Structure 1
Amino acid sequence: MLNKIKGALFGFAIGDALGATTEFLTKEEIKQKFGQVKEIVGGGWLNLARGETTDDTDMTLQVARGILKNPKDPVEPIGEEFLKWYASRPKDVGIIISTVLGSYNGNWFETAQKAHYQYLDEKSAGNGSLMRCLPVALVYKDIEEMEAITRRQSKMTHYDFLADETCAIYNRIAYHVLRGKNLKEAIKDVLKGSMYESALKGEKPAFDPDGFVVHTMYWVLYWLLTCDSYLEVVVGAANEGHDSDTVAAIAGGLAGLACGFDGLPKEYVDVLAEKEEIERIAIELSKR
């Protein structure tokens, strides 16, 4: 179990670090500038150091820390982690998350609803809650409780139903993979009858991998269903461009969960700036 949990968290962070180099570039611009990004090199629009990750990994670890503080009702401790991080002036915060954290009124769900209607023009179906939801699937043994908390952590910042529905579908897949199911079989079983069933055709999405949660999920599913190795998944996603760090991280989390920590390339793990903290949190999550 620890091997799988470490695989998920490290797999996520590797995807984030790889994709951060190419974020907001087009596929053609990546080819011209790099040929193909296969190593963690840093840089990108955030000018990251080699091995540094983005808000995707930051918020994933915040969710994990909040759960560890109060597994029965983690909303408030997760929120405390969000606010502490936001106050530290991170290099990057998504628009929806920044709007909610900057207008927090003491109630997460009311704040998210108000932001949706008053500040975001009813557009809160971003991928910011999907990118951080994986730790929930790694802790809760009851699938109904797992899904309920998955949705609640999403609703803290993203009021739109599309965001929490996508989080729930993603974490259902993770839940079954953690318990030994083959990744592609888990995807097929969970997607049947869902809003993402058409992804099972394995066709390349006809839209860019941008910040819209539905587009993000279709790209995540495309890489997971059409690639045969962890590295193929994250390198493919990183070199597609646009919101490449988030797609590579989310896909990398499931691919890493499936192959386990032992299946990840050691040279990628070793370069991560936060590897000690990721290791610590993985161990704590595995004890739950």
Structure 2
Amino acid sequence: MDNTIKDQIRATILGQCVGDAIGLLTEFLTKDEAKKYYGSKPKTLEYSQKVPDFHRSRWSEGDWTDDSDHMILILQSLLYCKGQVNVCDFAFRIKRWMKNGFPELGDLGGMGIGATTHAILNHPNFILEPQKIANECWERSQRNIAPNGAVMRTSILGLHQWEDLEAVRKNVIEISKTTHADPRCQASCVAVSCAIALMLRHTQTNLSRNKPVALNVEDIVQEAYNRACLVLEKVEQKTELHFYMNCRKLKKLQLSEHGKIGYTYKCLGSGFWALRQENFQKALIKLVMEGGDADTNAAVAGAMLGCKLGLTAMPESWVTGLKHKDWLVRYIDRFLKLQEEMKLPLDERTSHDDLDCKVLEDSDKRQKEKQL
């Protein structure tokens, strides 16, 4: 794999995490409250400026939240399963995370879980048949809930098997349906992940050209929209999807709209608005100052814009200030190796036995015994 592609993958993952971490500064605030705490139009935002209220004080300075935790859980599942998507393996990991977080990082449990995901994870049969449980939960809601808990974690699936768009689409739908059965959630995930994969494919094509061609963002958006529409049956859902993917003005997204901040299309719209920007720092500051579910919106936006602009476009303090950056980078390196091995037969790919579910369970038991 060319180093340019590797750097683009690194920028996508780190972009998600810095977006998540900087978005925490205004998560659940209204736009007016964000202005009150951080100024009307701040030129800079730093992790150290985080308002120490009850919600924000649960995370250390520079820490990302559940949005990126769940993305990393998918990454870990892909590593252990040698590149195969296994919904039951992912289900085990997300349920374990809910109980323990990442113990090696000092977590005592998963924080920030949405109501929909929380209800599904607590079902006794979730690990055995996650998609069935998620669908039953959706049916009980009269098929009316479409939160952003799936799209927030999906960027990694745009990087995995990025050369094969149909594989990306199928992988995304499988993981999305593990907790979110609504087609709008799946369409959101397909759109974001396919846009990321398409950007990598553009880079790959440019590497073989004598004269590189500029990225056409509108072509990316249209292709991502077309693939996302395959998930949707209702015309009104496709029309709504088109609006959010093509919204040029943040104000029209109404990101702090009362009772609707967690709607999957709002997060989707944030990502595609960001994709059209040219300055990583300015775009993310402008986005998070809208308030609402700011960390989730900025996580998706950071991944997409990171993929487009690269690591050098991000403020150095945001990248170096990530609390667990070194831990994350080690996982990114393992993921990059997996991508290089995807053309090998399954039994020739690297094993990651430290991520075996049984090993993790035994480790959790020993940790609890120590605490007693």
Q: TM-score, normalised by structure 1?
A: 0.92
Note the C-alpha offset of 1:211.
0.5
Contact 1:234-1:252 at 8 Å conserved across structures = yes
Root-mean-square deviation (Å): 1.9
Determine if the alignment matches structure 1 residue 99 to structure 2 residue 133.
Answer: no
SS class of match (2:250): coil
SS class of match (1:180): helix
Q: Deviations over 1:253-287 (max 9, x none)?
A: 01111122233222211111121122122112222
Q: What is the one-letter code of the residue matched to 1:213?
A: T
- 174-183 vs 94-103, greater mean Cα deviation: 174-183
Give the whole-Å Cα distance in 2 for the aligned partners of 1:57 and 1:277. 13
Give the whole-Å Cα distance in 2 for the aligned partners of 1:237 and 1:217. 13
Contact 2:192-2:271 at 8 Å conserved across structures = no
Note the C-alpha offset of 1:28.
1.1
SS class of match (2:292): coil
- Structure 2 counterpart of 1:69: 80
Note the C-alpha offset of 1:191.
5.1
Could you tell me which of 116, 137, 145 is aligned with 1:124?
A: 145
SS class of match (1:127): coil
The correspondence of residues 248-259 of structure 1 with structure 2, limited to 5 A, is 248-259=298-309
Q: What is the one-letter code of the residue matched to 1:189?
A: Q
Give the whole-Å Cα distance in 1 for the aligned partners of 2:24 and 2:274. 17
Could you tell me which of 131, 136, 151 is aligned with 2:157?
A: 136
Give the whole-Å Cα distance in 1 for the aligned partners of 2:186 and 2:112. 22
Q: Deviations over 1:215-235 (max 9, x none)?
A: 22123222332x221112211
Determine if the alignment matches structure 1 residue 234 to structure 2 residue 254.
Answer: no
Q: What is the one-letter code of the residue matched to 1:59?
A: H
- Structure 1 counterpart of 2:270: 219
Contact 1:173-1:186 at 8 Å conserved across structures = no
The correspondence of residues 14-33 of structure 1 with structure 2, limited to 5 A, is 14-33=18-37
Determine if the alignment matches structure 1 residue 265 to structure 2 residue 311.
Answer: no
Give the whole-Å Cα distance in 1 for the aligned partners of 2:285 and 2:90. 31
- Structure 1 counterpart of 2:175: 153
Change (3 A) 1:205 1:220: farther
Q: What is the one-letter code of the residue matched to 2:146?
A: A
- Unmatched runs of 5 consecutive residues or more in structure 1: none
- Structure 2 counterpart of 1:190: 223
Contact 1:139-1:286 at 8 Å conserved across structures = no
Contact 1:46-1:91 at 8 Å conserved across structures = no
Contact 2:79-2:335 at 8 Å conserved across structures = yes
- Structure 2 counterpart of 1:40: 47
SS class of match (1:109): helix
- Structure 2 counterpart of 1:86: 98
Stretches (4+) displaced over 6 A:
none
- Structure 2 counterpart of 1:282: 332
Q: TM-score, normalised by structure 2?
A: 0.72
SS class of match (1:131): helix
SS class of match (1:211): coil
Q: What is the one-letter code of the residue matched to 1:271?
A: G
Determine if the alignment matches structure 1 residue 49 to structure 2 residue 71.
Answer: no
Give the whole-Å Cα distance in 1 for the aligned partners of 2:251 and 2:193. 21
Give the whole-Å Cα distance in 2 for the aligned partners of 1:285 and 1:186. 28
Give the whole-Å Cα distance in 1 for the aligned partners of 2:72 and 2:29. 26
- Unmatched runs of 5 consecutive residues or more in structure 2: 101-108, 204-214, 230-237, 256-260, 340-372
Change (3 A) 1:8 1:104: farther
* Greater RCO (CA < 8 Å, at least 6 residues apart): 1
Contact 2:135-2:181 at 8 Å conserved across structures = yes
Q: Which has the larger radius of gyration?
A: 2
- 79-88 vs 245-254, greater mean Cα deviation: 79-88
Q: Deviations over 1:150-203 (max 9, x none)?
A: 011000000111101111111110001122352724543325655333343523
Determine if the alignment matches structure 1 residue 204 to structure 2 residue 250.
Answer: yes
Contact 2:274-2:305 at 8 Å conserved across structures = no
Determine if the alignment matches structure 1 residue 113 to structure 2 residue 124.
Answer: no
Change (3 A) 1:186 1:265: farther
Q: Deviations over 1:108-133 (max 9, x none)?
A: 11110111123x45333111000001
